[in-house]
Amino acid sequence: MLELPEVLTLSKQLNEHVAGRTIEAVFLPTKPHKFCFFEPEPALFEKQIGGARIERAEGFGIYAEMIFDNGKRLSVDDGINLRLLTDDEVPKDYQLRLALSDGRNLVFTVSMYGGINVHEEGYFNKYYIASRESVSPFSDGFDALFAGRFAEARPNLSAKAFLATEQRFPGIGNGCLQDILFAARIHPKRKVVTLSEDERAGLLTTIKEVLGEMTRLAGRDTEKDLFGNPGGYRTVMSKNTVLSPCAVCGSTVVKESYMGGSVYYCSGCQKMVE
């Protein structure tokens, strides 16, 4: 799933390689996917964005969005795979294909579930609004947001839940949080109320540093970009490193199921504190 570093990478690539092109044709899903959600129904896309010119793209939270010269916007959420392909490269099955004026295609597929939406500014969807209104970890306002979220934390809230649930920090999900918590030396299941002042400050710093590094390197190596290439950031705690030794202390990288997903952590560096 895309998280903030990948969404920012995708929007940057769309600005560099797709902005200025016009939508020549809209191709509907070749094989409907039960968990690909469209708004409105894709049959209406042609009327809304057919012939429109892509002016620019933006990335925020878990969304990447293209903005057209007719005021329409096309946004995709974190579950959509968006690729820029030649006609020869277009797969047989896709959820949406936009033929561009430069002869290439934007092709949308979904792995588990995802949403493709065409709308105007001010789209009303709770996840979209949370992402749109989110405070970027790279902006000045993030420290105050982080402090506020901490002040609201319930006693039983774990570090993983704090970072990745309830839309507290749209764009930080179950991928990025693993490396953030490793860098902060915090166990994913540790209750945030047990963190010392120094550990809280350290977590705030590592959120900015790790997301910054992931973004600078065009996303994580567990995700792919507009061209299908994996990101340049090598994940430290992920499916790619499980059971290998921790680079810092040599302990084994552990994978456990937790809160409807997996957590990866170093049992040496990230001690559980009750």
Q: Order of strands across the sheet with 23-27?
A: 23-27, 96-100, 105-110, 80-85
Instruction: Work out how close the CB of 159 gets to Zn ion at its nearest, in angstroms, rounded to a whole number.
Output: 16
**Is residue 268 within the footprint of Zn ion (CB under 5 A)?**
yes
User: Please, where are the H alpha helices in the chain?
Assistant: 4-17, 45-49, 126-132, 142-152, 159-164, 176-183, 197-216
109 touches 97 (CB < 8 A): no
Peptide bond into 5 cis (omega under 30): no
**Is residue 248 within the footprint of Zn ion (CB under 5 A)?**
yes
**Is residue 249 within the footprint of Zn ion (CB under 5 A)?**
yes
**Contact with Zn ion (CB under 5 A): which of 106, 246, 253, 263?**
246
Q: Tell me the per-residue interface mask from 193 to 232 with Zn ion, x by CB under 5 A, - otherwise.
A: ----------------------------------------
**Is residue 269 within the footprint of Zn ion (CB under 5 A)?**
yes
Neighbours of 254 (CB within 10 A): 16
Instruction: Work out how close the CB of 181 gets to Zn ion at its nearest, in angstroms, rounded to a whole number.
Output: 12
**Is residue 266 within the footprint of Zn ion (CB under 5 A)?**
yes
Nearest residue (beta carbon) to Zn ion = 246
Instruction: Work out how close the CB of 60 gets to Zn ion at its nearest, in angstroms, rounded to a whole number.
Output: 33
Residue from 112, 78, 54 nearest 5 by CA: 78
- d(CA 6, CA 14) in angstroms, rounded, equals 12
Instruction: Work out how close the CB of 240 gets to Zn ion at its nearest, in angstroms, rounded to a whole number.
Output: 16
What Rg, from alpha-carbon coordinates, does the chain have?
20
Instruction: Work out how close the CB of 182 gets to Zn ion at its nearest, in angstroms, rounded to a whole number.
Output: 8
Binding site residues, Zn ion, CB under 5 A: 246, 248-249, 251, 266, 268-269
